[in-house]
Amino acid sequence: MTHSHGRILIVDSNAGAVDELREILSHDGYEVSSVSNPKDARVYFEQGSADLILTDLQPPHTDGLTFLTELRASFQDLPVVLMTANGSLRTAVEGLKAGAFDYLSKPFIIDEVRSVARRAVEHAQAFSGRPQGYDRSGKDEEESPFGNLVGSSASMVHVYKAIARVAQTDSTVLIQGESGTGKELIARAIHASGPRSDGPFVTVDGAALADSLLESELFGHERGSFTGAVSARKGLLEKAHSGTCFLDEVADLSPALQGKLLRAIQEKEIRRVGSNASTALNVRIIAASKLPLEPLVRAGTFREDLYYRMNVVTIEVPPLRDRSDDIPLLVRRFIHLYGSSKTTPVTDISSEAMELLRRYPWPGNVRELEHAIERAVALSPHAVICPEDLPPVVRSSLPQSLARAQGWVTLEDLERDHILRVLDSHQHDMGRAAVILGIHRKTLLRKLRHYGVTTGNAVS
């Protein structure tokens, strides 16, 4: 492999732990180096660099936390993940307070190591502006191939591929996705990357207008064709001539309009309201809907024939909560967009605030995230967005514990979260979780009761 996903430096004197991590991380495409103590790590830094440091909290020769503080002072953008032996949660908390990105407990849970590494490296690359060891020649994780569209998750890459495939064709495209997922942005990207890009991009909002108005809005009208039609007017479909017509919220079109639209698409011609003459229709249609259309077809509220016309190619845009890996890149884009115009430019975000953003489920998707950042930028008196700049609903989305006291966590919170993480990673197998946590099964049960965690789906 010529390019790696990032460079990781392990600082640990325990050869077994190093081997285990090396195996997991190299398998995921990282370049892994290791040193056995912080002194060697310093030498390593003089010669090269890393995107992430995984350091044991009890290395010999120096206190792990002092090392962490030193690292933070010299390399602010560099995420440091601490590794702690069973039960040393107190040290983990101290570490998080001192600015560690996250912590991993030994023995390692493979999926946890992988996900922490991925998040941390992504964080480093998104925030440092100096991605290292990352393949920048092909698909860039920062600049998407489609201008304003940001995101490097597998599902967004899937969307990019679909855009690239359909842009060169003239087929009708249906874009489905929840509100605020970027449907319009995708429609614009299709238009801009295809042969019609010199033509107009015209939006028709199916939800905005009453039926009769929408009909004349879409198809145009002749003078006197209805009360108020004082002069003849071109419809939006006609205005989109040689370009693209974006039919937003198609699910809201009435059955009558659906029929008229179908005819126009099939016959490739339109007739203004009140006219007998028809004009040729030379537009590419891209339709969008928040609701999946298929159930509406089954329920009889959306015409099946029109559905098949539009559904030649469908692009499904996943909700943001299913691609939270895109959040750091989006946040960075929005900070750049809104932060630079302030007198004190806002240029960054604290890792606690980022973690809150990553955990919130974003029912309003990217639009809601964009508004949250715009607001945070306006509120923040500093160059860095902090948890208190975020909307209350986002701040309180964490297991409330984690958001407590301006982002600091208590030992209990950390213990609870850690227990839940271990349980989640082991199919709620209580026996295994207890072994991993190094406590008796009964103690685990007692703790779960204490934290009010129901063990209904736990394997005991």
Which chain residues interact with Mg ion by CB under 5 A? 184
Q: At a CB cut-off of 8 Å and minimum separation 6, what does 336 contact? A: none
Closest to Mg ion by CB, 152 vs 181, is 181
What minimum distance in Å lies between the beta carbon of 344 and ligand ATP? 24
Closest to ligand ATP by CB, 176 vs 258, is 176
Q: Any contact of residue 183 with ligand ATP (CB under 6 A)?
A: yes
Restricting to residues 279-298, which ones interact with ligand ATP according to CB under 6 A? Answer: 290
Q: At a CB cut-off of 8 Å and minimum separation 6, what does 129 contact? A: none
What minimum distance in Å lies between the beta carbon of 183 and ligand ATP? 3
Give the whole-angstrom CA distance, residue 230 versus residue 144: 47
Of ligand ATP, Mg ion, none, which one does residue 400 interact with (CB within 5 to 8 Å by kind)? Answer: none
Whose CB is nearest to Mg ion? 184
Of ligand ATP, Mg ion, none, which one does residue 185 interact with (CB within 5 to 8 Å by kind)? Answer: ligand ATP
Closest to ligand ATP by CB, 54 vs 204, is 204
C-beta separation of 192 from 234 below 8 A: no
Structure tokens at 423: 């349980």
Closest to ligand ATP by CB, 117 vs 167, is 167
Type of residue found at 398: L
What minimum distance in Å lies between the beta carbon of 189 and ligand ATP? 10
Q: Are strands 220-221 and 233-234 parallel, antiparallel or unpaired?
A: antiparallel
Closest to ligand ATP by CB, 104 vs 366, is 366
Closest to ligand ATP by CB, 6 vs 182, is 182
What minimum distance in Å lies between the beta carbon of 207 and Mg ion? 10
Contact range with ligand ATP by CB under 6 A, out of 4-12, 255-263, 279-287, 365-373: 365-373
What minimum distance in Å lies between the beta carbon of 391 and ligand ATP? 16
Closest to Mg ion by CB, 70 vs 184, is 184
Which of 84, 181, 244, 258 contacts ligand ATP by CB under 6 A? Answer: 181
Closest to ligand ATP by CB, 4 vs 176, is 176
Give the whole-angstrom CA distance, residue 86 versus residue 107: 7
What minimum distance in Å lies between the beta carbon of 327 and ligand ATP? 11
Q: Any contact of residue 149 with ligand ATP (CB under 6 A)?
A: yes
Q: Any contact of residue 179 with ligand ATP (CB under 6 A)?
A: yes
Of Mg ion, ligand ATP, none, which one does residue 216 interact with (CB within 5 to 8 Å by kind)? Answer: none
Which of 177, 318, 387, 407 contacts ligand ATP by CB under 6 A? Answer: 177
Give the whole-angstrom CA distance, residue 185 versus residue 334: 15
- Judged by CB under 6 A, how many residues of this single chain contact ligand ATP? 18
Q: Any contact of residue 205 with ligand ATP (CB under 6 A)?
A: no
Contact range with ligand ATP by CB under 6 A, out of 80-88, 123-131, 175-183, 399-407: 175-183
Whose CB is nearest to ligand ATP? 182
Residues that bind ligand ATP (CB under 6 A): 148-151, 177, 179-185, 290, 330, 333, 366-367, 370
